[in-house]
Each structure stands twice: as structure tokens, then as C-alpha cells.
Amino acid sequence: MKLIGQYDSPFVRRVAVALQIYGIVYDHVPWSTFGDGDLVARHNPLKRVPALVLDDGEVLIESGAILDYLDERVGPDRALLPLSGAARRAALRRIALMTGAADKAVSFFYAKLFSAALAPDFVSRCEGQIRTALAAIDRECGARVGDWWHGATPGHDDIAVACVARFIREAYPDLFDPEALPALSSHCARAEALSVFSAVEQTFTPPKG
Ligand SMILES: N[C@@H](CCC(=O)N[C@@H](CS)C(=O)NCC(=O)O)C(=O)O
């Protein structure tokens, strides 16, 4: 199995952390979607990462779909999402909030990189959406009992929160004030201290426009 993409992508990293937790061995192919765009496109016509190439050559794209496959592969007892009910819906909502914030943050970053000027209303809308998503997840972290949402080890929602928060903190330091986001910052520190996170980390490097 090969995981394509660099670990400064929160989408690639959330798959990589899950692979570490599952104990699945894989080859990491750290292609950049810009510098290695043509290589990435051979596996994903959208020229996006992550892409997971299975041993029989099948290629999975989209982090949520990849994790869905991996949960199925390890089986219900080791899946990193509650299997049903309110706990599953809440976890999926947290994941949607954070991956949505990451989608916004990534496309806003590209817009700034490739555009000579952006309309101020667009800038404040994007920045506002990122800020309010972070504030909402900070409140959820603060209301949680225990270190993680589903027991003793991180689930897909815990992982998405930590990976996306780190990406936003590095790509938009002005939008991430640790003092204003205390519960989220504690969550990130707890996650980053785990070997399953530190084994797959890379400081954000902006693409060259
Ligand atoms: N929704 C996708 C988002 C993936 C994504 O946006 N990846 C970024 C890297 S952080 C990318 O490949 N960007 C290149 C591009 O969109 O041109 C997922 O969950 O996998």
C-alpha cells in the first residue's frame, strides 16, 4: 500500500495517523501537488492528495473515503469511528466542521497565492469562517469529558481536529490565537505528544505560486 502526499497536508496526515494507529505498514510517497502535480494526476485526475494506492493497483482518493475503507478493512472492533447512533453522527459532524475549515483554508491560501488582489469582503468572509469553526471546535473540546471523544485513544474526529488545527496554526498564525482557543490547544498538544502523530509530521511549507 502506498500513501501519496506530504504530511503538512491535514488530509494526508489524518490518513497517516490512522494508519499508524491501525498498525498498517505502507510506503509513503511524499509528492507535492504542485512540484509533482503530473505524477499525482496519474493517480488522481483531480491532482489532489491524499491518494492511497492498494497492493492490487486500486486507487482510493478523498481522505474520508480512504478512512472508510481502512475502518472496514480493520473491522468494527478497531474502527476509529462509533459504528452507529448519536455518537457517530456527532463524530461525523466534528470531522465535517474541521475538514470543511481545512478545505476553506487551503482554497483561500491558493487564492491569495495566485491572485494579485482579493476583494476585502471575500477575505473577511474566509477568515471569519475559519475563526468561527475553530471557536466552535474549541467549545466542543472544552465540553468533553476525558482526553478523547471515544475512550482511551483518538478516533477520526480527534485526529481531524488535531491535524487541521495544526495546519491552520502554521498556515494562518494570525487566525489561531492559542490563548483564545485553550481547549483546542490542549487537545493539539496531547495529540502531538503521541508517537502516532509525531511519526507523521511535517511543518507547513507554502506551495510556490
Ligand atoms: N476533500 C479532500 C481535500 C484534499 C485536498 O484539498 N488536498 C490538498 C492538499 S492539503 C490538495 O491536494 N491540493 C491541491 C489542489 O487542490 O490543487 C480530502 O479530504 O482528501
Ranges of each domain in the chain: 2-74, 85-198
Distance 11 CA to ligand 1 centre (A): 7
Distance 28 CA to ligand 1 centre (A): 17
Reported as half-sphere exposure (CB side, CA atoms, 13 A), residue 109 has a value of 22
User: For the chain, what is the mean pLDDT?
Assistant: 97
- Ligand 1 atom nearest to CA at 99: 19
Phi, psi at 29, each rounded to 5°: -115, 95
Fold (CATH) for 85-198: Glutathione S-transferase Yfyf (Class Pi); Chain A, domain 2 (1.20.1050)
50 lines ligand 1 (CB under 6 A): yes
Mean pLDDT of 55-75: 98
- Amino acid 102 reads A
Q: Which of 15, 34, 47, 48 to mutate to test the pocket of ligand 1 (most atoms within 8 A of CB)?
A: 48
CB 7 within 8 A of CB 63: no
| Span 89-110, pLDDT tens digits | 999 999 999 999 999 999 999 9
Flag whether pLDDT at 209 surpasses 80.
Answer: no
> Quick one: three-class SS letters along 185-197?
HHHHHHHHCCHHH
| Span 5-53, pLDDT tens digits | 999 999 999 999 999 999 999 999 999 999 999 999 999 999 999 999 9
Flag whether pLDDT at 126 surpasses 80.
Answer: yes
62: left (phi over 0), alpha (psi -120 to 50) or beta: left
pTM of the model: 0.98
6 lines ligand 1 (CB under 6 A): no
The CATH classification number of 2-74 equals 3.40.30.10
Q: Which helix (H) or strand (E) holds 35?
A: none
Name residue 61's beta-bridge partners.
51
Percent of the chain with pLDDT over 70: 100
Name residue 176's beta-bridge partners.
none
164 lines ligand 1 (CB under 6 A): no
Q: What is the pLDDT of residue 127?
A: 98
33 lines ligand 1 (CB under 6 A): yes
Strand runs (DSSP E) across the chain, as ranges? 2-4, 27-29, 51-53, 59-61
Distance 153 CA to ligand 1 centre (A): 26
**Lookup result for grid cell 483531480:** 46
Distance 108 CA to ligand 1 centre (A): 12
Going by pLDDT thresholds of 50, 70 and 90, the confidence category of residue 207 is: confident
Mean pLDDT of 84-91: 98
Q: Which of 13, 47, 49 to mutate to test the pocket of ligand 1 (most atoms within 8 A of CB)?
A: 49
CB 94 within 8 A of CB 149: yes
Going by pLDDT thresholds of 50, 70 and 90, the confidence category of residue 193 is: very high
| Span 44-59, pLDDT tens digits | 999 999 999 999 999 9
Cβ-defined contacts of 92-96 (< 8 Å, 24+): 92/157, 94/137, 94/140, 94/149, 94/157, 94/160, 94/161, 95/64, 95/156, 95/157, 95/160
- Ligand 1 atom nearest to CA at 48: 12
Q: How many CB atoms lie within 10 A of CB 120?
A: 8
